[in-house]
Structure 1
Amino acid sequence: MANRLRNRYLYTPRQKLFAALIALVVIGVPLGYGIKTWTTPEDRSCAPGVERPAGSDECIGVNGDGYAFGVPELAEVAGLIGRENATLKADEYATVAVLLPLTSTDPGMRVKVVHELQGAYARQYRANHESNSETPRIRLVLANTGKGNAHWKTTVEQLKTMTAAPQRLRAVTGVATSSAEVRQAVAALTGAGIAVVGTTITADDLANGPGPGHNRFPGLARVSPTNGDEAKALAHFGEVDAAKAILVQDTRTGDHYTDTLKAAFAASLQGAPYEPQLFTSPPDPTEEGTTANTFRQITHLICDTRADTVFFAGRHTQLRQFINALGARGCAERPFTILTGDEGSYLGADSKLNRSALRARLTVRYAALAHPDAWRPAPGRPVPATGGSTVAYETFLTDIARASKQPVALADGQAIVAYDAMATAVHAIRQATPAGAAHPELADVANQWPQVKGSLRVQGASGWICLDNFGNPYNKAVPIVQLTQDGKQRFVALAWPERTPPTASCLPPKRG
């Protein structure tokens, strides 16, 4: 009876409708939200032109509006670039992209990236404000390839879509490591007719040259000497006795910097009595791996030789490990000199370098790409009459002061080389622009490199940039730099791949 009354009076049609509506709200709203969430694509955008690829938290792409790609260290210089770009009118500029692993987590690479962007911005500012109103003006954009350049293809494909108006991409600079990924990126860009100016790529096989298949990267130019030229400059400077030298080299293949450096060093050590000492770095050479253990053993073997000079062919993480190990060697009474390539420039900022090793009768010298003292006269060290100039370097100092509220660190040479690469790109863009035209054609920029020589050379802050017919710098100045006992980078002298500075004409000779 009670149930019949409850059903009759409590479950009226109105109550049943109300209960149904409540149930719909309770169940339907979450269900609807879930369906919307499942059916609506996730917003993976970071900024205009930049987004997170599937499976990655890195912001990948191209932006020139001041976006810093989530890297606090880049905020200041990215902001300066964004503000400069905002002053440009739609039809008055050509675009240059700086292609780098902006979100790298490797400490050395993060420092390098900051300095390269500072150098590029400094030269952009000069092009737009201190070049007698020459045109076109220059828009600078940042192009991120991600940690280890893993997302190079995504970014390069985006750059390839930017050659038409309004962006008018006319050159890409940066491309700063001689890795397999960078090689692929350069091949894709130059294959699309886009001019590329490498900053710190030094691998001999990441270049054009004479012989079959010589034009592998049409439109590629570089402002840094090759590993082969670095090795020749080191050998000329040190007058190394091959009978008292030994090579320590990485066996990991596919790293064009290491592969070509060990080949160049081996060529300089013809007749050396000892076989090379081998180590194998991790697939990602910025990782520590177990190579420190290998170096501890190698130092024992080096003590068994008569060698007093060690040529090191490897990346900076392993170089630091080797220095630390050799500093703790058993034959501490014997002096040693380590000679290596431009990866040595990372050591000044490497907190894991054991500075006491440098006080253990151990001298570390490397072939730098640039140094702030290279073109400054000093007592007993005059500036060469050719190959570069104090005036060009002083101009750079004026420009780089605009790139940060704090003094820009110059000892690693990265800002200097990036400034020169940008100067070379701007030079080509403006030389390719016909009289009366507002912008150059894309293909005409990539065809400029054979004419960058003689009186048309670029007066670089790192030295003269005189390119041969294949876009490679001829007899470029190579600063020899030594790590001091407190880990600072001291300029020693300029060395030259051709033994002496270039002539005043700076015209590369015909090669056989």
Structure 2
Amino acid sequence: MADHDGPLDPLTPWYRTRRGVSALAAAMVVCAAVVVLISWPSPPDTSCGTGAPGLQWAGSGADRECVGLTNERAFAADPRLKSITEKIAAENRRVRDQWDRPGKGKRRVDYVKVGLLTPMTESDTSALPIGEIRSSLEGAYIAQCRANGCPGLPRDEPLGIGGEAPPLIQLVIADEGRGEAHWKPAVDQLTALARGAHPLVAVTGMGISIEETRKAAVELSKHGIPSIGAVLTATDVNADRLFKVSPSNLDYARALRRYVDRSPLARSRGYLVFDSRNDNYVRTLRQAFDTTFPRSIGDNRTSFVGATGNEPAGTPQLFTTAVNNICQTKADMVLYAGRDRDLGPLITALAGRQCDEKKPLTLLTGATGAFQQAQDRRGLLTKSRISVLDVSSAHPSLWLKGQHAPRGFPAFHDSMKALGFRETVLVDGYAIMHHDAVLTAVWATRNVTAHTGDETPDINDVYHELTNLNHTTSVPAAGGQLSFDDASHGWPHNKPVPLIRIPDQGEEAPPPYRTP
């Protein structure tokens, strides 16, 4: 062994070696990560609605609402919706059971989902009162039951969509908040349902004609999901895959014009009273009146601030100037472009006019549900010699008498009674229109499955079928025999637009205008 002149070099400590330094650094990173995971706060729980996992808090302060989806577990923030939401949830569970637990000797029956996008609460400034929301849910449920063959309904469903023909339908309620302020989280949840087993094939309802509705329809279209509006009439609420079962505001104006031209009102002097807010419905109805009644209206117009909407725009329902100007111009025909909520106060203001009180005054408007506001003031209308002419998507009181009733109305009415609903469900027309929106989705879906033999249709096939619902496949809706094609831009052909006169003078109702 060789000798060394001095002491041996000491060994380098392991933690000073390159490998040791690397090991220490890695350990420190792991420790730091553990500390972060332990100390980092977990995401806040935004869930709301006991037992309803699809609901979540959205917004802040006064705008904070419990919104989202409900399917097999009912939730109603407003107790007036408790009964109908429980009926829908129970039917959704019955549908799932026919797939999961069909019973001994029975085959499994597949199902798909149809969304119902709607506000589920009201406020003093929301355009949809709770009564119309409830009617909407009831009409949608009647359509679901007719599609699924609910217990209590006749098995020989005349429309050919009953009797458990696959796929069955789960109706998923998507609450977008009062004023539709929280449409985005509701739509995000709906789009997620379009994937996987038992997919979402369409969304119905779609609220009312405001910008939030258009944005929701555009977002659904981006995901390939067709939507079907029940009471959308604004001509600028459009999207690639948005359909409507209602007439447009231009159709409303044309229907009124047709009636006026055939009546003593043909030579009347008109006056336009319109809501000045940035609201798609009132804006496009005003434009339709200007286009259709240019000589009658001319420069005769006064605006007011409506009581509905998400943003304050001034003191609402100030009609004094409008009434004084109507007197000054000696107008005998008032065209009203405003929301239902403001119609009653306008009638009250016109009844107090200080000019020629014995001269009859006719108020013209177009809306589903506006006739109920007028009906509530029949005594005042009669006393003040005011008549309201409302063209609408539905005329239930007339159709119950068998006058100009669409072919599909009696079957709808029979199902409504068999399910235990009273005639009051029909009052505002919203049950009929939401029934028709859901029925149209079912009609397209069942047509696809009949052609393909696949009980789970592709949403693209459902969309294309919606554009081909005409002639032999037109929709036998309660509100009319509806047709759609690729040239209709989502609007229905052949939709009746009945005229409602309040107070009723006992005269026979004219045949309705029909959409081209």
TM over 0.5: yes
Residues 268 and 197 (structure 1), Cα distance of their counterparts in 2 relative to 1, 3 Å cut: same
Contact 2:114–2:169 at 8 Å: present in 1 too? yes
Partner of residue 464, structure 1: 481
Q: Is the 8 A contact 2:305 2:317 kept in 1?
A: no
Q: After TM superposition, give the deviation of residue 298 of structure 1 in Å.
A: 1.3
In structure 2, the residue matched to 1:99 is: 117
Matches within 5 A, 1:130-149: 130=157, 131-149=162-180
Q: Deviation at 1:220?
A: 1.6
Q: Runs of 5+ in structure 2 lacking a partner?
A: 1-37, 101-108, 150-156
Q: Which moved more, 1:320-329 or 1:283-292?
A: 283-292
CA distance in 1 between partners of 2:59 and 2:295 (Å): 53
Change (3 A) 1:54 1:167: farther
Task: Compute the displacement of 1:450 (Å).
Answer: 2.3
Structure 1: how far apart are the matches of 2:289 and 2:184?
Answer: 33
Task: Say which of 67, 73, 98 aligns to 2:74.
Answer: 67
**Distance apart, 1:406 and its partner CA:** 4.7
| Residue identity opposite 2:170 in structure 1 | R
Q: Distance in 1 between matches of 2:297 and 2:134?
A: 43
CA–CA distance in structure 1, aligned partners of residues 85 and 471 of structure 2: 35
Where 1:467 maps in the other structure, the secondary structure is coil
Between the aligned partners of 2:176 and 2:309, the Cα distance in structure 1 is 17
For the 8 Å contact 1:374–1:494, the answer to whether it is kept is no
Matched, 1:157 2:188: yes
Contact preservation (8 Å) 2:368, 2:393: no
Give the aligned partner of residue 457 of structure 2: 440
Q: Which letter maps to 1:298?
A: A
In the superposition, the TM-score normalised over structure 1's length comes to: 0.79
Shift in Å, 1:45? 2.5
Work out the number of aligned pairs and report it: 443
Paired residue for 1:246, among 263, 267, 271?
271
Report whether the alignment pairs 1:45 with 2:45. Answer: no
Tell me the equivalent position of 1:121: 141
Paired AA for residue 44 in structure 2: P
Query: Aligned to 1:301, which of 325, 349, 361?
Result: 325
| Selected match of 2:236 from 205, 210, 214 | 205
Alignment match, 1:481: 500
Aligned equivalents of 2:214, 2:508: Cα separation in 1: 31
Q: 1:325 aligned to 2:330? A: no
Residues 41-62 of structure 1, C-alpha deviations (whole Å, 9 max, x = no match): 3463322201212525421101
Answering whether residue 65 of structure 2 is matched by residue 58 of structure 1, we say yes
Deviation at 1:374, TM superposition (A): 4.0
Contact residue 251 and residue 281 of structure 1 kept, 8 A: yes
> Match for 1:237 among 259, 278, 286?
259
Shift of 1:338: 0.3
TM-superposed deviation, 1:490: 11
- Taking the aligned partners of 2:421 and 2:484, their CA distance within structure 1 comes to 34
CA pair 43-383 structure 1, distance change in 2 beyond 3 A: closer
Match of 1:398 in 2: 414
Percent sequence identity is 31
C-alpha displacement of 1:452: 1.0
* SS at structure 2 position matched to 1:197: strand
Equivalent AA in structure 1 for residue 183 of structure 2: W
**Distance across 2 between alignment mates of 1:479 and 1:292:** 28
Q: Distance in 2 between matches of 1:319 and 1:289?
A: 18
Q: In the alignment, residue 425 of structure 1 is paired with which amino acid?
A: A
8 A Cα contact 1:116 1:415, kept in partner: yes
- 1:186-205 → structure 2 map (5 Å cutoff): 186-205=217-236
* Greater Rg by CA: 2
Q: Quick one: distance in 1 between partners of 2:358 and 2:298? A: 21
Change over 3 Å in CA distance of 1:481–1:44 after alignment to 2: same
1:203-254: CA deviation from partner (whole Å, max 9, x where unpaired): 11223xxxxxxxxx2222111000001110111122243651121122222x
Question: Following superposition of structure 1 onto structure 2, how do residues 354-365 of structure 1 map, counting pairs within 5 Å?
Answer: 355-365=379-389
Report the CA distance shift for 1:474/1:83 in structure 2 as closer, same or farther (over 3 A).
Answer: same
Aligned mates of 2:260, 2:425 — CA distance in 1: 28
State the TM-score, normalized to the length of structure 2.
0.79
2:123 maps to amino acid: T
- Structure 2 counterpart of 1:401, one-letter code: K
For residue 263 of structure 1, what is the amino acid of its counterpart?
A: Q
Quick check: 1:450 aligned with 2:464?
no
1:368 aligns with 2:386: no
Find the aligned partners of 1:115 and 1:354 in 2 and give their Cα distance.
22
Aligned residue identity for 1:410? L
Asked if 2 retains the 8 angstrom alpha-carbon contact of 1:483 and 1:490, the reply is no
Cα offsets for 1:421-460 (capped at 9, x unmatched): 1110101111122433121001111111221111211111
Deviation of 1:341 after TM superposition, in Å, equals 1.2
CA contact (8 A) 1:308 1:335 kept: yes
- SS of the counterpart of 1:171? strand
Alpha-carbon distance in structure 1 between the residues aligned to 2:71 and 2:324: 52
Q: 1:302–1:441: structure 2 CA closer, same or farther, 3 Å change rule?
A: same
Deviation (angstroms), 1:155: 0.5
The Cα of 1:478 is off from its aligned counterpart by: 0.8
Instruction: State the shift of 1:271 in Å.
Output: 2.0
| Letter of the 2:358 counterpart | E
Structure-2 change in CA distance of 1:300 and 1:251 (3 Å): same
Q: C-alpha distance in 2, partners of 1:40/1:92?
A: 37
Q: Which amino acid aligns with 1:244?
A: R
Task: Report the Cα offset of residue 328 of structure 1.
Answer: 0.6
Equivalent position of 2:367 in the other structure: 342
With 400-409 and 170-179 compared, the bigger mean Cα shift is at 400-409
Report the secondary structure of 1:177's partner residue: coil
C-alpha distance in structure 1 between counterparts of 2:389 and 2:436, whole Å? 24
Q: Out of 271, 284, 287, which is 1:260 matched to?
A: 284
Q: Distance in 1 between matches of 2:491 and 2:421?
A: 35
Give the superposed CA RMSD. 3.0
